[in-house]
Structure 1
Amino acid sequence: MRWMSLLGLIAMTGCVEVVEQGQVNRPAPQVSARPVATAPTRAQVEQFISVVQRVEPVAERECRARAPRNNCDFRIVVDDRPGQPPNAYQTLDRTGQPILAFTLPLIAQVRNRDELAFVMGHEAAHHISGHIPRQQQNAAAGAVLLGGLAAITGASQTVVDQAIDIGAGVGARSYSKNFELEADALGTVITHRAGYNPVKGAEFFTQIPDPGNRFLGTHPPNAQRIDTVRRVAAGL
Structure 2
Amino acid sequence: MRLVFSFIAAAALGACTVETAETPASKPAPAPTTTTKAGSPPKVSSRTAVANFKAVVRQVEPVAEQECRARAPDLNCDFKIVVDERTNQPPNAFQTLDKSGRPILGFTIALIADARNRDEVAFVMGHEAAHHISKHLAKQQQTAMGGAIIGGIIAASVGLDVNAGQQLGGTVGARAYSKNNELEADALGTVIAKRAGYDPVRGAEFFTRIPDPGDRFLGTHPPNASRIETVRKVNSQL
Q: Distance in 1 between matches of 2:213 and 2:131?
A: 19
Q: Which amino acid aligns with 1:202?
A: A
Query: Which one of 194, 199, 202 corresponds to residue 201 of structure 2?
Result: 199
The answer (yes or no) to whether the contact 1:40–1:105 under 8 Å persists in 2 is no
What residue number does 2:216 align with? Answer: 214
The equivalences for 1:1-236 within 5 A come to 5-8=4-7, 11=10, 16=15, 41-155=46-160, 159-236=161-238
RMSD: 2.3
What residue number does 1:30 align with? Answer: none
Moved more, 58-67 or 214-223: 214-223
The answer (yes or no) to whether the contact 1:139–1:167 under 8 Å persists in 2 is yes
What residue number does 1:28 align with? Answer: none
Residues paired across the two proteins, number: 214
Q: Distance in 2 between matches of 1:10 and 1:112?
A: 22
TM-score in terms of structure 1 length: 0.84
The answer (yes or no) to whether the contact 1:48–1:107 under 8 Å persists in 2 is yes
Shift of 1:61: 0.2
Shift of 1:56: 0.2
Q: Distance in 2 between matches of 1:220 and 1:152?
A: 33
The answer (yes or no) to whether the contact 2:12–2:47 under 8 Å persists in 1 is no
Shift of 1:16: 2.7
Local SS of the residue matching 1:174: helix
Local SS of the residue matching 1:91: strand
Instruction: Flag the 1:15–1:105 CA change in 2: closer, same or farther, 3 A.
Output: closer
Q: Which amino acid aligns with 1:163?
A: G
Q: Which amino acid aligns with 1:59?
A: A
Q: Which amino acid aligns with 2:89?
A: Q
Instruction: Flag the 1:55–1:177 CA change in 2: closer, same or farther, 3 A.
Output: same
Instruction: Flag the 1:207–1:138 CA change in 2: closer, same or farther, 3 A.
Output: same
Higher relative contact order (CA 8 A, sep 6+): 1
TM-score in terms of structure 2 length: 0.83
What residue number does 2:37 align with? Answer: none
Q: Distance in 1 between matches of 2:110 and 2:127?
A: 18
Q: Which amino acid aligns with 2:173?
A: G
Q: Distance in 1 between matches of 2:105 and 2:2?
A: 12
What residue number does 1:23 align with? Answer: none
Q: Distance in 2 between matches of 1:58 and 1:175?
A: 27
Shift of 1:91: 1.0
- Unmatched runs of 5 consecutive residues or more in structure 2: 18-41
Q: Distance in 2 between matches of 1:86 and 1:105?
A: 5
Shift of 1:177: 1.1
The answer (yes or no) to whether the contact 2:14–2:109 under 8 Å persists in 1 is no
Local SS of the residue matching 2:197: coil
Q: Distance in 1 between matches of 2:207 and 2:12?
A: 30
- Unmatched runs of 5 consecutive residues or more in structure 1: 19-35
Shift of 1:98: 0.8
Shift of 1:11: 4.5
Q: Distance in 2 between matches of 1:15 and 1:183?
A: 27
Q: Distance in 2 between matches of 1:48 and 1:94?
A: 26
What residue number does 2:34 align with? Answer: none
Identical aligned pairs, as a percentage? 62
The answer (yes or no) to whether the contact 1:138–1:174 under 8 Å persists in 2 is no
